[in-house]
Amino acid sequence: MAELSRRKMLMTGGALGALGALGMASPAHARPWTWSPAGSIAGSGAGADPRWVWDEEADPLVASLLDRGAVPEVNRLLWDWNRNDQPLPAGLPDDLRDFMERARRLPSWADQGKLEAAATFNKSRGLYLNLLNGVGGGMLSTAIPKEARAVYYSKGGADMEDRVAKTSILGFAVGSLNAYRPGGSCVVQAVKTRLVHAAVRHLLQQSPHWNGDIPISQEDMLVTWHTLPTFAMRKMREWQVPISAAESEAYLHVWQVTAHLLGIRDEYTPATWDAASAQSDQILPRNMGPTPEGVILTDILLGQLAEQTSPLSVSRPLCNALARCLVGNQVADWDGIRREPVWDPLIAVTWPKLVRFREGLIPLPLVPEVAWVIDEAVRQYILFFLTKGEQTRIDIPTANRPG
């Protein structure tokens, strides 16, 4: 894969030079941060530009764990820590245990009623959410230069099946019916992901391929956040999926809580969808554009999608067309997704009709339950494929991509 990746980077580098003029503003020319913390879940804050804010609690802790060689044993101890209500395992370093006990607590503003309502919403809208968060969010992430480079040059970039499987663990945990119930795993997966982010921040700065700012800033995490719930809500509204005000608020809330557990400061987490849209419109344009690494990762991801769905006779051209339909032409071109003269117009015409057909069935008795069973079966199939039927856990990396 390493040789293939180098060859593809050389092939795509020239073409992407022209694409770069289409969109991404360089940091020096990016618009200043003007989003007000009054629109956040906290309702107030310092208003500092999130590009220059990281994780002041997790970063020095994980750097210390790496420097003193404690991470392999920590990963071993945390392997079987999987449930929200499960005590932390014995033997963890005291400083890590103290941090994790704080980090796993739900924020004081968490609303269990809304979290339960979000689970019900996921039950009837799982198909859209899996598609938008999985395929759509994946294609958007590879069109974010800092994220694409961070993924490519970190340890996960050397084994994208494993990287996608671990990312899917968190995504599936957020969308599960018991996400924040005692028997769920969303708290666990979010806290583990926060530790991983801290490790990547420390390690990538030691990579000869990384010459940018400290990775995974608060803004970087917000950008990723907007490629998931904000993008999904906008697309469902575009598709005219009926969503009540209570469902919309609940879906936002589950992602607000998840943002908090991932280490995003409350002063940056939008309190409403209007605030989320305003923030997204400010930070996505200044953070998106083409990179050779993004093209390579897109090719790998779409190849995996085509392979995952091969029993359903879904071809790579169809996957290309579906991805283009979800993210639009500019992002698809940045990602190097081929235009498909047959499938592109067919998907564009038929998808809205499929949505209307599905929504016509949703009000019928038992349809949400049946839909959830089907959607969950697809999710489990994808996860089984990615993990090759083996247990996979989110663990803290100890090195960058080799080579």
Query: Picking from 43-57, 64-78, 346-360, which range would have the lowest pLDDT averaged per residue?
Result: 346-360
So what's the pLDDT on residue 2? 44
Sign for the CA dihedral angle at 341, 344, 346, 349 comes to negative
- Residue 402 in domain: no
- On the question of pLDDT at 397 being above 60, the answer is yes
- Residue 81 in domain: no
- Residue 75 in domain: no
Q: Are 255 and 280 in contact (CB under 8 A)?
A: no
pLDDT tens profile 202-223: 999 999 989 878 999 999 999 9
Rounded to an integer, the average pLDDT of 40-46 is: 97
26 pLDDT band, cuts 50/70/90, is very low
Enclosing domain of residue 158: 106-386
Of 317 and 112, the one with more pLDDT: 112
- Sequence-separated (6 or more) residues with CB below 8 Å from residue 260: 41, 106, 107, 110, 266, 269
So what's the pLDDT on residue 364? 55
Task: Give me the DSSP letters along 23-40.
Answer: SPPPGGGSPPP---GGGB
Total domains, the chain? 1
Rounded to an integer, the average pLDDT of 9-16 is: 41
- Residue 51 in domain: no
Rounded to an integer, the average pLDDT of 34-53 is: 96
Model confidence, pTM: 0.86
- Residue 225 in domain: yes
Alpha carbons 140 and 268: distance in angstroms, whole number: 21
Alpha carbons 155 and 143: distance in angstroms, whole number: 19
What are the phi and psi torsion angles at 67 (to 5°)? -65, -30
So what's the pLDDT on residue 393? 81
Average per-residue pLDDT in the chain? 85
Rounded to an integer, the average pLDDT of 344-369 is: 74
Which residue(s) pair with 400 in the sheet?
154
Rounded to an integer, the average pLDDT of 237-265 is: 97
- Residue 289 in domain: yes
- Residue 347 in domain: yes
So what's the pLDDT on residue 22? 35
- Residue 28 in domain: no
Rounded to an integer, the average pLDDT of 88-109 is: 98
Q: Which helix (H) or strand (E) holds 293?
A: helix 292-308
